[in-house]
Amino acid sequence: MDKVLARGSGSAAARSRPRTAVVAMVAGAAVVAATIAVATSASAGTTLGASAAEQGRYFGTAVAVNKLSDSTYVGILNREFNMVTAENEMKWDATEPSRNQFNYTNGDRLVAHAQANGMRVRGHALLWHQQQPGWTGSLSGSALREAMLNHVTQVATHYRGKIYSWDVVNEAFDDGNNGARRNSNLQQTGGDWIEAAFRAARAADPGAKLCYNDYNTDNWSWAKTQGVYNMVRDFKSRGVPIDCVGFQSHFNSGSPYPSNYRTTLQNFAALGVDVQITELDIEGSGSSQATSYGNVTRDCLAVARCNGITVWGIRDTDSWRASGTPLLFDGSGNKKQAYTAVLNALNEGGTPPPTTAPPTSTPPTSAPPTSTPPTSEPPTTPP
């Protein structure tokens, strides 16, 4: 925020004012900036969340709500992170265990914890081919389509105003070399199911950023990456309400951090969407793991529209891939080398985010006014 103020003092308007006024303004701005810096970041440079905030980004983690009673876990969570994602608690099987009967107990617990501790929430995930409740298995075609859109509407409405960004659709692309959609029960309801879901989510919560989220879309040269890119480009050209793309970024020896990762983030951002690193974990240890974590962090900071980074768990023992020790804290809650690499990269800084928030509403489809501009000359007297 202090950087925005500093840039503003160099504007054309400021330059045209008398020198004494400029000096006073700059001094005033410096006081305001210093006040804001102190007020917002007592821990600037020393925790992941505060250091990310200094760069206009967030730093988040997946949270398993049943671990909120673990004092070591909660201590790290509250100290280091300013964004949370429910690891499982907002998925379809958790929120709608019986058709049209919703259970928000655990999701609400996470939202309450976030709100009480100044964190924001990424919603994960409205529609996915996995972790569906059993009752969807007996549905197909228009019946499944109706149930699916009702789910999106109900859950996004329940959490309206409380979610920073929703993973509206998760993992809808095939893992092969065809760049095609995954053949899921959702896909079988019609090729337009993804855009229908985004429209339903926008109607239910106009304030949330709406993301498409996937894995193995990090390497720019991979067919799956290209498939998702083509879908997002098509959505943007047709006014489908998509705001962001989530890159899960689960890295291991079979799917390592790719050297063109920054290119991927930049190319998606150039389509006019934000990009977010949504489920980061990197298997390994020591300096090689730390180097990859530092690279991912610098890549996000280099892309103005990269909003932030979320790691998929806190301690290695909390991970879905615990044996790969892929996270920033060891099983005892100690900071790893990878933690220091991320913190240092955050503190090095990067490209500031855009100063104006991009519009979240769909642009108007009506033609612009066609009236001719006035023909008289503008007044020539100085203001």
Work out how close the CB of 190 gets to ligand G3I at its nearest, in angstroms, rounded to a whole number.
23
Check binding of 105 to ligand G3I (CB under 6 A).
Answer: no
- Tell me how many residues contact ligand G3I (CB under 6 A): 8
Work out how close the CB of 280 gets to ligand G3I at its nearest, in angstroms, rounded to a whole number.
11
Is residue 54 part of the annotated active site? The answer reads no
Question: Which H helix or E strand runs over 238?
Answer: helix 223-238
Decide whether 87 or 316 has the Cβ nearer to ligand G3I.
87
Cβ within 8 Å of residue 147, ≥6 positions away: 99, 136, 139
Work out how close the CB of 296 gets to ligand G3I at its nearest, in angstroms, rounded to a whole number.
17
What residues numbered 133-152 form the site for ligand G3I, per CB under 6 A? Answer: none
CB-nearest residue to ligand G3I: 320
On whether the CB atoms of residues 161 and 96 are closer than 8 A, the answer is no
Residues, the chain = 383
Decide whether 216 or 266 has the Cβ nearer to ligand G3I.
216
**Residue 257 structure tokens:** 């951090």
Dist. CA 13–CA 26, nearest whole Å: 13
Q: Which of 80, 87, 243, 283 binds ligand G3I (CB under 6 A)?
A: 87
Q: Which of 100, 130, 178, 188 binds ligand G3I (CB under 6 A)?
A: 130
Work out how close the CB of 289 gets to ligand G3I at its nearest, in angstroms, rounded to a whole number.
18
Residue 67 half-sphere exposure toward CB, CA atoms < 13 A: 21
Is residue 96 part of the annotated active site? The answer reads no
User: Coil, helix or strand for 358?
Assistant: coil
Work out how close the CB of 266 gets to ligand G3I at its nearest, in angstroms, rounded to a whole number.
23
Closest CA to 156 of 207, 110, 84: 207
**Residue 34 structure tokens:** 């210093």
Contacts within 8 Å (CB) and 24+ apart, 106-113 = 106/65, 106/66, 107/65, 107/159, 109/65, 109/68, 110/63, 110/65, 110/68, 110/84, 110/86, 111/159, 111/162, 113/63, 113/68, 113/84
Decide whether 131 or 288 has the Cβ nearer to ligand G3I.
131
**Helical spans, DSSP H, in 57-188:** 71-80, 92-95, 105-116, 141-158
Q: Which of 102, 104, 135, 320 binds ligand G3I (CB under 6 A)?
A: 320
Check binding of 131 to ligand G3I (CB under 6 A).
Answer: yes
Draw the binding track, 36-75, toward ligand G3I (x: CB under 6 A; -: no contact). Answer: ----------------------------------------
Check binding of 96 to ligand G3I (CB under 6 A).
Answer: no
Check binding of 103 to ligand G3I (CB under 6 A).
Answer: no
Check binding of 88 to ligand G3I (CB under 6 A).
Answer: yes
Work out how close the CB of 138 gets to ligand G3I at its nearest, in angstroms, rounded to a whole number.
21
Catalytic residue among 171, 195, 283, 348: 171
What residues numbered 152-211 form the site for ligand G3I, per CB under 6 A? Answer: 170
Q: Which of 248, 264, 266, 295 binds ligand G3I (CB under 6 A)?
A: 248
Dist. CA 276–CA 57, nearest whole Å: 10
Catalytic residue among 54, 80, 96, 279: 279
Q: Which of 54, 89, 195, 279 binds ligand G3I (CB under 6 A)?
A: 279
| Phi, psi for 354 (deg, rounded to 5) | -55, 145
Decide whether 256 or 272 has the Cβ nearer to ligand G3I.
256
DSSP secondary structure string for all residues of 272-314: T-EEEEEEEEE---HHHHHHHHHHHHHHHHHSTTEEEEEES-S
Pairing label, strands 83-86, 58-63: parallel
Dist. CA 66–CA 165, nearest whole Å: 23
Binding site for ligand G3I (CB under 6 A): 87-88, 130-131, 170, 248, 279, 320
Q: Which residues are catalytic?
A: 171, 279
